[in-house]
Amino acid sequence: MIMKFKNRLLYILIATFIFGITYSFSQTEKFKVALDAGHGDHDFGATYSGHVEKNINLAIVLKVGKLLEKNPNIEVIYTRKTDVFIDLVERSNIANRADANIFISIHCNANKNSSAYGSETFVMGMTKNASNLEAAKKENDVIKMEKDYKQKYVGYNPNQPESLIGMTLMQEEYMENSISLAGKIQDNFKNAMGVKSRGVSQAPFMVLHKSYMPRVLVETGFISNKEEGDRLDSEEGQNDIAQAIAEAIVGYKKDFFGEDSNEPKIDKPIKRIVEKPIEVIKKDTIEVKQNEKVNEVIDENGLVFKVQLSASSKKINLVPKNFKGLKNITSSYYNGLYRYMYGSTNSHEEAKKLLQEAKSKGYSTSYLIAFKNGKSINIQDAIK
């Protein structure tokens, strides 16, 4: 009896020790995020008006990674950090080998219709939607650049993305989590950036098919749309996109894996916007000043909301006829682009009215921005 008791006690002690190690490991194991910058090297992706998708994708991924790496509880895995070509299946394998918790592939959308705009996030799935199948076909067509792709992807026809249906593995197991992650990304694009959300969709993307974890493909915007292409290829636009995605990842981690006590807040990279010197243009004896801040309202904390109408490499006179009748237009110049803004108020509610007015005039991709003491700040921080 005593021997049995001792043996039982020894068993309990050993089990407790093993459990303690396992529990300690589970508490200290990092949340792993695999980031994939679509295209690369000789695979340029979409190219419009001097904007190159592969470069934009990589810039955004590196910015997302930099934000996440500030969090001691997150480990970032990159499929590429330079301008190189990676096979689609290898991108998934990188995430699989790292045993990543989530996989996010970053892309830019494109359409022959240059008026198409907005962001969209895809999860792996079959669809009868023609536009979704076309998007998948376009992205999956990259495999033709790979060596021996017919042997590597035996059973798959790049011209028929739906042929993946016979190859799909573990699709349903991660569907709910994938949709949750995709939804958070789209919510941030819409609510924090004021970007049109085209929603969460399903499509048979090869890069998602082989990734065995919750995974999404993010179309950050249309590079084929002039205004959106300019935003995607700008430092500020990429910072906004990166923060929206990074915050969605942290939110997903909190929902499904809990929040750590030392979870840091994601701070947006701040770059001071330097206004160009004021120019005076005489027209009919009336002076019109470039960058004139007409009726600008700033509160005691130096906070002001504005509506960003567009960004362009062209310099435009700030007169109503050039902005569909809108008055009180200001501009700033940064990174080779002129940014044109409408209105000025310290009230978020008033700012939303200005945004609706701008959209009613035809500026469908306009969105709210905020400044504090002359510096651009995150719109959510300004609202708080």
Mode of pairing for the β-strands spanning 119-124 and 51-52: unpaired
Among 3.40.630.40, 3.30.110.40, 2.160.10.10, 3.40.50.720, name the CATH number for the domain at 23-257: 3.40.630.40
In this prediction, residue 229 carries a pLDDT of 94
Q: Quick one: average pLDDT of 72-88?
A: 94
Global pTM value: 0.58
Report domain extents, the chain: 23-257, 280-383
In this prediction, residue 54 carries a pLDDT of 95
**Number of separate helices (H) and strands (E) present in the chain:** 11, 15
Given a contact cutoff of 8 angstroms between Cβ atoms, the answer to whether 278 and 292 are in contact is yes
Does residue 329 have a pLDDT over 50?
A: yes
Taking each helix axis from N to C end, the angle separating 175-193 and 235-257, rounded to the nearest 10 degrees, works out to 140
Q: What percent of the chain has pLDDT over 90?
A: 35
Q: Quick one: average pLDDT of 116-144?
A: 63
| Model confidence pLDDT, tens digit, residues 136-168 | 545 555 555 556 655 555 455 555 544 444 444
- Residue of 50, 45, 110 lying closest to 83 (CA atoms): 45
Given a contact cutoff of 8 angstroms between Cβ atoms, the answer to whether 128 and 60 are in contact is no
In this prediction, residue 146 carries a pLDDT of 58
Given a contact cutoff of 8 angstroms between Cβ atoms, the answer to whether 363 and 329 are in contact is no
Q: What are phi and psi of 287, to 5 degrees?
A: -85, 130
Does residue 322 have a pLDDT over 70?
A: yes
- The domain made up of 280-383 has a fold known as Alpha-Beta Plaits (3.30.70)
| Model confidence pLDDT, tens digit, residues 259-309 | 777 777 776 554 433 333 333 333 332 233 333 333 444 444 678 889 888
Given a contact cutoff of 8 angstroms between Cβ atoms, the answer to whether 156 and 163 are in contact is yes
The DSSP bridge partners found for residue 272 are 375
Q: Quick one: average pLDDT of 330-356?
A: 82
